[in-house]
Amino acid sequence: METILIVDDERNYLVVLGAFLSELGYETITADNAPDALEIVESTDLDLVLTDMKMSPMNGIELLRRIKEKNPDLPVVMMTAYGTVEKAVEAMQLGAFNFILKPFENEALRQVVEKAVGAYRLLKENRRLVDALENLYRFDNIVGKSKSMQAVFDVIRKVAHTKATVLITGESGTGKELIARAIHFNSPRRNKPFVAVSCAALSETLLESELFGHEKGAFTGAIAMKKGRFELADGGTLFLDEIGEVPAALQVKLLRVLEDMRFERVGGMRTIDVDVRLLAATNKDLKAEVEAGRFRKDLYFRLNVVHIHLPPLRERTEDVPLLAAHFAKKYAREAQRGEMTVSAEAMRFLCNHRWPGNVREFEHAIERAVLLSQGDQIRLDDLPKNLMGFSDLELPLEWDRLGSLPETLDAIEKRLIQKALALSNNVQSQAAKLLGIPRNNLHYRLKKHNLV
């Protein structure tokens, strides 16, 4: 329950306001003078101070100034009578959250109070997340409180100091390279090189010479001797990314090298010994590749000594608020902006989205939102509109038997509206925002599709 301190030298006001705010579900404390109020501010965990302006011996402005010295974040709402509006402006400049003109309607007060308390709640929630980030739920710069990520941290702690080969699997953007680096930088090899090679997009010959190097004249174009990545990683860690793409012939050679860590450069005679810790990653299901005969079983077993699987972000939504706080902090700092929070609306959307591009896509969305946001809060409007995409819409259409254009468009429209409603927990104003249409337009379409 949130606690509000009410300060007014008119006792009647204290009674009436106290009763009204209690009815709204707040705990209330009252003080009929500013010095008492200050003592309460110091000794109590408050969520809002609602204070009158004209009081003696200390007036509301002075009280505000003192409160802000003690606790700059605690919101203060000023109650001002007619004729003291200039004072209200001064109060705003001193950091009051808002002011309300006396006499006021209960409804007006309710709105101001809810806004102030809500904003403070969000700020505290954000602080809490940042605190959690700073200790419990992170490993280096890897963030996660979900069971699966905590288990990943445990494995890293256990195997980092060993020389065990680790196979890291997971969809694109789940953080495979980040994990590989964490293993290296937490190992005794941290001061030696971390060398990453992508096994995709290179022909067999090029990949072979990339890995093992070549002698001068080994093939056309080999105008000078070149060391391979195995040699460059000597003493350190070699990270073979997209290992599932290694061509069959090279898989044999790779296996042989991994067995005894010796090889010859392409076109060379001399055997080279290296001391390399091997990490590998793939977004393919390597076991299925083995079963399909596309990946050698013996190489698979050689790589899969320790297995770390990173689940897609949509399967660990507990991590979303932490990741949001982490990236909001990172990009706010980069943009030299102050602390940023994420609005409840935006957070709900972030948690419900499927994130096909996983953490990478998520990170870009937050980076962009930080740049677009006007104030110190990321709102629903700051998130990319194309997140509301078709990719995961599961259209109830049979594409080989398309109906007329209007029928087809109607079906798509209906699914989009249903998705927007689901993403916004059936709050129509938010759904309309996501869809980029006015609220009354959404009403019309809901009726049209029998969705109300």
Ligand X SMILES: Nc1ncnc2c1ncn2[C@@H]1O[C@H](COP(=O)(O)OP(=O)(O)OP(=O)(O)O)[C@@H](O)[C@H]1O
Site for Mg ion, rule CB under 5 A: 177
Nearer to ligand X, 7 or 149 (CB): 149
Cβ closer to ligand X: 88 or 240? 240
Give the DSSP letter of residue 339.
-
Q: How far is the CB of 355 from ligand X (least distance, A)?
A: 11
HSE-up of residue 379 (Cα within 13 Å, Cβ side) = 10
Phi/psi at 310 (5° precision): -100, 115
Given ligand X, Mg ion, none, residue 258, with its beta carbon under 5 to 8 Å by kind, binds none
For ligand X, the closer CB: 81 or 371: 371
Measured from the CB atom, the residue of 30 and 187 that comes closer to ligand X is 187
Partner that binds at residue 170, options Mg ion, ligand X, none, CB closer than 5 to 8 Å by kind:
ligand X
Residue written as token pair 């009674």: 15
Q: Which of ligand X, Mg ion, none lies near 173, with the C-beta cut-off 5 to 8 A by kind?
A: ligand X
Using CB under 6 A, list all residues that contact ligand X.
Answer: 141-144, 170, 172-178, 283, 326, 359-360, 363
142 binds, among Mg ion, ligand X, none (CB under 5 to 8 A by kind): ligand X
What are the distances in angstroms from CA 168 to CA 35, 48, 140? 61, 49, 17
Shortest gap between Cβ of 245 and Mg ion (angstroms)? 12
Among 372, 359, 380, 383, CA closest to 429: 380
**Nearest-angstrom CA–CA distance, 81 and 104:** 10
- Residue 149 C-alpha from the chain's centroid: 14
Q: How far apart are CA 424 and CA 151, in angstroms?
A: 32
Q: Which is nearer to ligand X, 74 or 278 (CB)?
A: 278
Query: What is the smallest separation between the CB atom of 361 and ligand X, expressed in angstroms?
Result: 9
Residues 6+ apart with CB under 8 A from 428: 421, 439, 442, 443, 446
Pick between residue 125 and residue 177 the one whose CB is nearest to Mg ion: 177
Smallest separation, CB 241 to Mg ion (Å): 5
Query: Choosing among Mg ion, ligand X, none, which partner's interface includes residue 144 (Cβ < 5 to 8 Å by kind)?
Result: ligand X
Closest contact distance (angstroms) between CB of 137 and ligand X is: 10
Q: Are strands 237-241 and 226-227 parallel, antiparallel or unpaired?
A: unpaired
- Beta carbon of residue 286, minimum distance to ligand X (angstroms, whole number): 13
Cβ 358 to ligand X, closest distance in Å? 7
Nearer to Mg ion, 177 or 367 (CB): 177
Where is 197: in which H helix or E strand?
strand 194-198
Residue with smaller CB distance to ligand X, 195 or 431: 195
**Is 378:369 a contact under the CB 8 Å cutoff?**
yes
Decide which of Mg ion, ligand X, none touches 213; Cβ closer than 5 to 8 Å per partner kind. none
Binding-site partner at residue 228 among ligand X, Mg ion, none, CB < 5 to 8 Å by type: none
Which of ligand X, Mg ion, none lies near 172, with the C-beta cut-off 5 to 8 A by kind? ligand X
Strand pairing class (142-143; 98-102): unpaired
Distances (CA, A) of 317 to 97, 324, 327, 355: 33, 11, 15, 10
Please provide the DSSP assignment of 10-75 as one string.
Answer: -HHHHHHHHHHHHHTT-EEEEESSHHHHHHHHHHS--SEEEEESS-SSS-HHHHHHHHHHH-TTS-
Strand-pair partners of 6 = 30, 50
Q: How far is the CB of 350 from ligand X (least distance, A)?
A: 14
Nearer to ligand X, 71 or 141 (CB): 141
Among Mg ion, ligand X, none, what does residue 32 contact (CB within 5–8 Å per kind)?
A: none
In the complex, least distance from residue 196 CB atom to Mg ion, rounded to whole angstroms? 8
Contact 370, 337 (CB under 8 A): yes
Contacts of 59 (CB under 8 A, 6+ apart): 34, 53
Which residues does residue 102 pair with via DSSP β-bridges, in sequence order?
Answer: 81
**Partner whose binding site includes residue 321, from ligand X, Mg ion, none (CB under 5 to 8 Å by kind):** none
The minimum distance between CB 243 and ligand X, in angstroms, equals 11
Residue nearest to ligand X (CB): 175
Q: Which is nearer to ligand X, 178 or 232 (CB)?
A: 178
